[in-house]
């Protein structure tokens, strides 16, 4: 049956261009800093602990605050939340650019994380508000997905270019004019929408969501670095227990922060799972890919950054193909096929060795990025479409929080596999007569081995580098094998759980819990557009 919902006009499509701006910056800001670390370290001289916080505080607060900010946007207005977040993001970027101490930069990065948490769910929920026609909404979300993923790929490249000509603060300062543009254009091109009867905002639920997400992300990240030590395991367990309390509280509240009944719908829960594992695969590969290109092949950082431009055509082709295919093919089969493409990408990476493997890395990367584009566009559309319009902000926040979890798990699971193989091989492969401190550093990471080799005579540095690179690529191959199996299982699961969805249709009312079905019926809201 043809979709008879109101079609979006020129104003909505211009508004979509405005919404893509913050998504680009959020993802770029997570990756551009990698190139600035040596420069800011030399000027601010942070301790090793402070350097870690400079890197991590942004992602921690971004992940931990999204649920709260998405629900708050549903209550006070999504456009208003977007403008507040944009202004805060621009101000915090300026503070970060001109930081005079490590403490100031950490505080600025913390505010950037909080501001970023307002932007991502606001943009996605506004798309839900602006595009009522299913086909147009799916196309708009595909553009949004391409912007988010493209920003992650452009971040290292932009960072490299800026640092070739300017000081380290330029990677933050570039955000300011873009956010000024967002704040100016948003009231003109974007509608306002808030739930007509939002109910009371539960501060305890907001605190519980933060106390659940932060320890889990922190614990999983530490596991990737230090293995299953007591602190990361306890942190993750604390987050899980707090999350259980959070869910129970949401079930009892008349006005919950998140309507947990959404998870009873197969389309919602399976799409969320597919999105989590697509990010799991992409970030998990990134952990190995950047090290392989720079530390095994020997590329300069900027050259390695240029390779990330492979994202653009692969992502564009993927999201376009996915949105076209679902017009004729059941969405579950399209999502499963895209995840299968990602599994094929991992399978290609099982053929990576120290020499003559750049083609395998490039093909594997293209397949992973290509598959993730279609999965992201279609899964996010299913997640947003499954929620009532007045709860789209909270549903969008769940989608983005799931992406953060997926990225953390990708590094933790696949990175831990690679690290375990590396440590095991280096225990016996470190050349004899190597100084104790050099042997310890080389046995810990590939980067440590490369650094140590610079200060060793050639008869020791050559065998050390060869052993370290072979150990790293062996770990990379095993991680790719595990990734292949995981993505194949998720592909089969998606095909089974989403097979009931018809071509070119969102989740049916039958897929939602009965108590939510009535809430999905069209409501007589007043026009969200500003009145002239």
Tell me, letter by letter, the H, E, C secondary structure of 126-185. Answer: HHHHHCCCHHHHHHHHHHHHHHHHHHHHHHHHHHHHHHHHCCCCHHHHCHHHHHHHHHHH
pLDDT class of 520 with cuts at 50, 70, 90: very low
* pLDDT at residue 491 in the model: 93
Contacting residues for 263 by C-beta, under 8 A, at least 6 apart: 269
Instruction: Give the Cα separation of 294 and 207 in Å (integer).
Output: 41
Instruction: Report helix angle 436-444 to 446-453, nearest 10.
Output: 140
pLDDT reported for residue 8: 66
| pLDDT score for 400 | 76
Instruction: Report residue 338 as tokens.
Output: 């895209």
DSSP letter at 500 equals T
pLDDT of residue 34: 64
State if pTM tops 0.95: no
Q: Which of 311-325, 500-514, 515-529 has the lowest mean pLDDT?
A: 515-529
Q: Which two tokens stand for residue 204?
A: 């305890």
Choose the most confident range, by mean pLDDT, from 27-41, 122-136, 494-508. 122-136
To 5 degrees, how large is the angle CA 416–CA 475–CA 295? 100
**Top-confidence residue, 250 or 159:** 250
- Give the tokens for residue 156: 């290292």
Terminal alpha carbon distance of the chain: 36
DSSP 198-249: -----HHHHHHHHHHHHHHHHHHHHHHHH-S-HHHHHHHHHHHHHHHHHHHH
- DSSP-assigned letter for residue 295: I
CB 279 within 8 A of CB 228: no
Which whole number is the average pLDDT over 116-125?
82
Q: 144, 114, 134, 113: which is closest to 13 by C-alpha? A: 144
Portion of the chain with pLDDT greater than 90, in percent: 8
CB-CB contact of 202 with 66 (8 Å): no
* Residue-wise pLDDT tens digits, 367-405: 988 888 888 888 888 887 777 766 666 777 777 777 777
What's the pLDDT at 346?
A: 93
């Amino acid at each position: 049956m043809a979709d008879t919902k109101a079609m979006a006009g020129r104003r909505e499509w211009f508004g979509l261009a405005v919404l893509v701006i913050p998504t680009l910056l959020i993802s770029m800001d997570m990756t551009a800093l990698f190139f600035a670390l040596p420069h800011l370290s030399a000027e601010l001289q942070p301790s090793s602990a402070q350097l870690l916080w400079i890197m991590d505080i942004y992602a921690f607060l971004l992940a931990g605050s999204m649920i709260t900010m998405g629900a708050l946007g549903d209550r006070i207005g999504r456009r208003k939340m977007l403008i507040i977040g944009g202004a805060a993001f621009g101000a915090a970027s300026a503070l970060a650019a001109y930081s005079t101490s490590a403490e100031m930069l950490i505080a600025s990065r913390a505010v950037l994380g909080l501001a970023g948490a307002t932007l991502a769910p606001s943009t996605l929920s506004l798309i839900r508000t602006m595009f009522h026609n299913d086909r147009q909404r799916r196309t708009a979300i595909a553009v949004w997905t391409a912007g988010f993923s493209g920003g992650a790929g452009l971040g290292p490249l932009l960072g490299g270019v800026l640092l070739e000509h300017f000081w380290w603060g330029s990677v933050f300062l570039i955000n300011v004019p873009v956010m000024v543009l967002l704040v100016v254009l948003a009231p003109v091109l974007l509608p306002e929408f808030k739930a007509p009867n939002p109910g009371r905002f539960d501060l305890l639920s907001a605190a519980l969501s933060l106390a659940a997400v932060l320890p889990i992300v922190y614990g999983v990240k530490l596991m990737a670095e230090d293995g299953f030590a007591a602190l990361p395991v306890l942190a993750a367990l604390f987050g899980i227990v707090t999350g259980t309390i959070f869910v129970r509280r949401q079930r009892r509240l008349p006005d919950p922060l998140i309507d947990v009944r959404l998870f009873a719908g197969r389309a919602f829960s399976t799409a969320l799972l597919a999105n989590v594992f697509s990010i799991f695969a992409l970030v998990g590969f990134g952990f190995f890919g950047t090290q392989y290109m720079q530390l095994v092949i020997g590329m300069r950082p900027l050259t390695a950054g240029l390779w990330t431009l492979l994202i653009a055509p692969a992502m564009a082709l993927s999201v376009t193909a996915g949105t076209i295919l679902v017009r004729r093919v059941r969405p579950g089969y399209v999502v499963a096929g895209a995840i299968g493409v990602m599994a094929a990408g991992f399978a290609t990476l099982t053929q990576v060795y120290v020499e003559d493997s750049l083609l395998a890395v490039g093909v594997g990367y293209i397949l992973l990025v290509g598959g993730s584009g279609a999965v992201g566009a279609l899964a996010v559309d299913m997640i947003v479409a499954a929620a009532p319009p007045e709860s789209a902000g909270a549903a969008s926040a769940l989608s983005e929080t799931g992406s953060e979890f997926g990225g953390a798990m990708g590094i933790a699971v696949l990175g831990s596999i690679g690290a375990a193989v590396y440590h095991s091989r280096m225990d016996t492969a470190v050349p004899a007569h190597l100084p104790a401190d050099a042997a310890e550093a080389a046995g810990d990471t590939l980067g440590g081995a490369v650094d140590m080799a610079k200060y060793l005579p050639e008869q020791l540095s050559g065998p050390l580098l060869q052993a370290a690179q072979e150990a790293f690529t062996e770990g990379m191959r095993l991680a790719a094998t595990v990734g292949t199996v995981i993505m194949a299982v998720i592909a089969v699961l998606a095909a089974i759980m989403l097979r009931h969805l018809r071509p070119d249709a969102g989740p049916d009312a039958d897929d939602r819990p009965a108590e939510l079905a009535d809430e999905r019926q069209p409501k007589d809201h007043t026009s969200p557009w500003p009145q002239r």
